[in-house]
Structure 1
Amino acid sequence: MTTEENRPHSGHEDPYALALQSGRAPAYLRLADGRRTRLPVHRWCAQPTRADRTLMERCVGPVLDVGCGPGRLCRALLRQGVFALGIDVAPHAVARTIALGGTAQCRSVFDPLPGEGDWQTLLLADGNIGIGGDPHALVRRCAHLISPMGVLLVEVDDNDVEERCTAWFEDTHGHRGPPFPWARLGAPALRRITDDLGLSVTDQWKSGPRSFLALGRPGSSPGGRARRGESDVVTRTPAAWR
């Protein structure tokens, strides 16, 4: 039953948007079963961490950063001379990315995108394997976006979990944004998806409490061509943008 206490407050902006605007306001991911997790907004709005850098050193351009948020990864890659485009469905996230010097578009990963089939690296960081609530469909779509030798770099839950749910963003006062489908996935569940889609795990690593996998097609180089070397060509833009 919808009551005044649990009805979304139309007079308040989306807590996620407000958190991104300030870069530090607390925001939470609330699941329909009542669980609530504080979002690391301060980390998303700061400089890349050591764990982030383990992702970045495996990136070969061009890079598509899916669910880029305020764009810390795609902006840092651009500063290093690696072409990177961020996409996000949140206008405030895209605006912040562009204002701070990044390149981003307000689009869903399931929308038509530039350079489809030509991206060398695709990032699904910060739990973005949960986008859309269907990791199988998401990985299949991402596999169509990368080149034959391209690599998906995916951050997974540190626990062995496979869960689909409904979620929303919430502030400390219980004001919430619209609900959306979400998922949580650990490494074993992602491995099952990759096997089903004809992909393989080419690298797996941890940095602190965060866990990552690199996925590619048979014959692709491990870990996004392993670690990027000085001789790699990393500034190439997708063919559709030339």
Structure 2
Amino acid sequence: MRRHLHAEWTKLRTLPGTGRLLLTIVVLTAAVSVAASAVVSCTPAGCGYDPARILFFGVQVSQALVAVLAVTAISGEYGTGMIRLTLTAMPHRTGVLAAKAILLAVITLITGTAAVLAAALTARHLLLGNGFPAGMLDLMSGPNLRAAAGSVLYLTLIALLSLGVATAVRDSATAVGVVLGLLYLFPALILMISDAGWQRLLWQISPMNAGLAVQATTGLAALPLSPWAGLGVLAAWAAAALLGGGLLLRVRDA
């Protein structure tokens, strides 16, 4: 596994634009959270907003860049034909995919932590100025800490989901389209369907809706799933994608 990790790390860090993409994830997460914080306010009568969801709102946008990063980690090799050299040098295909998943998870954890921290620190000042109580914005409180850590894990699971999809479909554009479709199609369908039962079911199986429940710090009783259970739904999607991609990688020709 050490040889696999070294080889995959060399390829990942030498991909064109990887550094810029990671930096953009951090900047975009913070910028979108700041923009969201600038347009909400809390009155003496009540806030009506979950402050953690506002603080980490940028995750909903930057997840698309995380998906692009994960897709390019393997689909680029299919596009150039380098995958044949990779599998010739390291014929243990499951090990190749496992190494990619481990490195991608570590990089996303680090980048996601920086992004969430930047978003929290910059957006918090705006929310305080817009009337939100300091107690609601205590970043070390249990609910807010869970929302922050959960947002980082959310981005990491998005990366693993994207890697699995890209391994299965091979083509970069198709893989990104499938992942973004999975993320954004369910929320659109929920808005289009009037039946409450179907809305609840779609919410519960939606990778994005269920996964982002981990950011909730208010109104938890009204959620179709608890925060950690919602993140578990996304974890199941990621595991299924990696399993499917891994099986196809083993049985298909490079």
Q: TM-score, normalised by structure 1?
A: 0.29
| Structure (1/2) with the larger helix percentage | 2
- Which has a greater percent of strand? 1
Greater relative contact order structure (CA < 8 Å, 6+ sep): 2
**Length-normalised TM-score, structure 2:** 0.28
Higher Rg of the two aligned structures: 2
